[in-house]
Structure 1
């Protein structure tokens, strides 16, 4: 056993990490992993039908729960939130969706009764407040009842979506709760990037902590899959991640900070992939990265594009994860039309199909439902005949290219937008029963 594996095992076995922010500091709980299966289960057969998925975002209540439910009485809030979710599932079923990617960790909070994370304020308006039911279990029960699969969608490193004093004060108030926010438990892990509070991906204990959160969900819930989104290293020119000290401590032996950062992301993916398969081999693990791995101008193996690249921007070598068999599926966000020269839909989709072809990783293409029907000077195709011709071309390509196993739409609430009316009717006629 390597020193790193020993460290992970020791942490997940129940290490208690303390901070001196109060006289009785809160505990950071880590979910113990079950023993490795003596006889690995056979590989889960590929789904007979293609993926017809949709992302359902809870961060900032983008898709769910209803904003109006937050200030209702406890009973009314539960009723409103649950009805809103079942109404959505009914509509998804009618449209022909077969898989929901449900955001269970939108930031440093949870949508299940976690021993590691406090309750999400998206449910009640206050971090740490018990919503009176288990949203993840409710989603699983109701979706499975309708024949829909559910993948638990995690944002690994984000703690908050802003740096407002009120937001930080709300996290600080969890100091007396169990569990408290990571913001008060581990201030040495906390950084700012993209005008958000994030965790430093270069700290080994941070990666162990994230892995333990995934382990908690996979152990306790009958999820069909686990997915990480594209937020690994996230920076903006005016708000970069200051990880100079972390690099100084852990970056020895790397030619550059960029290579070290990519190795940190690699280690997280390896840990989570191994952990999911150790707990439940039939639970799928996937990632939804930015659509461009690398541009050919930077790497001859890259795509004929000129978009922001996951390898160089998020320090995520997504192509390598596919080649190494770390993922059951990859769902690149190919959010451009056929006419967008910088990143043509067909060019990227076919590039990814070539990447997965010699592997066992399935490829699902993320499609920009949020752009359908929206006016755009640089992408006018989305408004021609309600965006239906462009959507049809993309779905046709996904179904005709060998190596593409389906589509995931971003995101659920856009099914309810007036500008997408024609597109939703088209989807229902194409996918619905």
Structure 2
């Protein structure tokens, strides 16, 4: 009888696998037969993170430096010029406009406290026919940009203009509070009524306008003026010091006046709107020798600005020291000064250095090359600072044929960025929105609870991702037929972000 070999089911499976291995080896050895398509690695579809960086720009209105270009423009012409500035800024990657609205005891907005600025119409007190600040806020937000209202707390104008000042200007309405100093007129910071007036102006702006920040620059006590012999002229506050400075050294008293104002501004602005930012852009050197090797004006001793104290006390949400010197400047090294300021930031506020765009190819002996500003931005990033501010608009966007704006847009600012957060103002993230496709567009529905201030939207079209920053009122995202994914985060006024809502085609 023949022997019958029986295989179990497991044995049959093993033999089948062995046969497949042998066939594969043979096919590979003789090179014959089709081997199938080469495996393609999966495409990475992870969305890029939303970038966070301050990319600010000052729009100076005093003396018509940046806007309007002259006083004879109509309201429509002024609006057209400002719209052009914003469109150019957005194209360059700018995300914050610092708009000068109180240059010298006057107003570039509708005010019941101070007169319309003459820079608008040529005559102080004349209504330009619209509200420039309201217009600026609306148009900046529509382009995904923050609007910071820039005020000068104590500057009151020029002596050459005193006969042209409106009756409501402080020089005429409260002459007892104003000092003539060189060719300038100045509100005396030591007078309590002066500080009250400036705070009432700030409070009025914060209450009535949907701004993202209040911003003050470096003018507190005036920069020292000298006489014909080169001798420093004393600021004429003798009577004020007698009334309010008893028992103090005058320099200490003056610094205390400014410190009191800075602390009060921070506290009272947040009492009105707790989550808008307060920023100051002081002179870039606190004192000579800080850091070692730095020389220049002593802002602490000459204009009584103890800006290091403001940062260390947390009386600002951001500090933008005006570091208007080159990387290679031997006595005012940009990297050294920036590093020193960052070391003083014990409260973890935002430090965004001011950069001197106005020095690019400006024909002076200290002119920058075009590459200096991009290089300073790289230095800033390298020191883990979170952004910069550019002074001024005309030199950033238009001078040299707009070369600086083009350079920024094509490289360092080629992807939109969201302004960094200020979590000490509010650390609670807003709720995640919901998304739905309606009429070919993605519609955003906000979550209940804290309202969004902005949306970040990331769109995937083919294999490419793009980022948009949208003001919260914009709840419709137009998309092309190639868009397959949309991610949206809610951003509150302090910059906290929700988790991302997603729509997929």
| TM-score, normalised relative to structure 2 | 0.69
Q: Number of paired residues?
A: 359
Q: For residues 231-281 of structure 1, what are the alpha-carbon distances to aligned partners after superposition, in whole Å with 9 as ceiling and x for unaligned? A: 001131235421111111111121x21111000000110111111010001
CA offset digits 1:370-406 (Å, max 9, x no partner): 00112333x36x13xxx21x2232111111113x221
CA distance in 2 between partners of 1:201 and 1:135 (Å): 28
Q: Distance in 1 between matches of 2:325 and 2:271?
A: 37
Task: Measure the CA separation in 2 of the matches of 1:425 and 1:211.
Answer: 39
1:87 match: 84
| Alpha-carbon distance between aligned partners in 1 of 2:72 and 2:88, rounded to the nearest angstrom | 26
Q: Structure 2: where are the runs of 5+ without partners? A: 1-49, 228-232, 416-505
Match of 1:53 in 2: 56
1:323 pairs with 2:304: no
Q: By how many angstroms is 1:411 displaced? A: 0.3
Match of 2:379 in 1: 397
**Residue 249 (structure 1) aligns with:** 243
Offset, 1:421? 3.8
The question of whether the paired residues in 2 share the 8 Å contact of 1:364 and 1:407 is answered with yes
Structure 1's consecutive aligned runs of 4 or more residues displaced over 6 angstroms after TM superposition are none
In structure 1, C-alpha distance between the alignment counterparts of 2:174 and 2:397, rounded to whole Å: 40
Structure 1 unpaired stretches of 5+: 1-46
Partners of 1:97 and 1:55 in 2: CA distance:
11
Q: 1:144 to 1:187 in 2, by over 3 A?
A: same
CA shift, 1:198, in A, is: 0.8
- Indicate which of 154, 172, 184 corresponds to 1:196: 184
Residue in 2 aligned with 1:24?
none
- The higher-RCO structure (CA 8 Å, 6+ apart) is 1
The structure with the greater share of residues assigned to strand is 2
Is 1:220 matched up with 2:208? yes
Give the greater-gyration-radius structure (CA): 2
Aligned to 1:108: 105
Mapped to 1, the partners of 2:186 and 2:243 lie a distance apart of: 19
**Hey, what does 2:446 align to over in structure 1?**
none
Tell me whether 1:184 sits opposite 2:180 in the alignment: no
Secondary structure in structure 1 of the residue aligned to 2:144: coil
8 A Cα contact 2:89 2:397, kept in partner: no
Q: TM-score when scaled to structure 1?
A: 0.80
What's the CA shift string for 1:167-210, capped at 9, x where partnerless? 11111xx33xxxx1111111110102241111111111111110
Cα distance in 2, alignment partners of residues 184 and 193 from structure 1: 17
Deviating more after overlay: 309-318 vs 147-156:
309-318
CA contact (8 A) 1:414 1:420 kept: no
Q: 2:400 aligns with which of 410, 419, 425?
A: 419
Give the structure with the higher percent helix. Answer: 1
Range 266-275 or range 235-244, more displaced: 235-244
Q: Does 1:137 align with 2:134?
A: yes
RMSD: 1.6
Question: How far is the alpha carbon of 1:418 from its aligned partner?
Answer: 3.9
C-alpha displacement of 1:306: 0.6
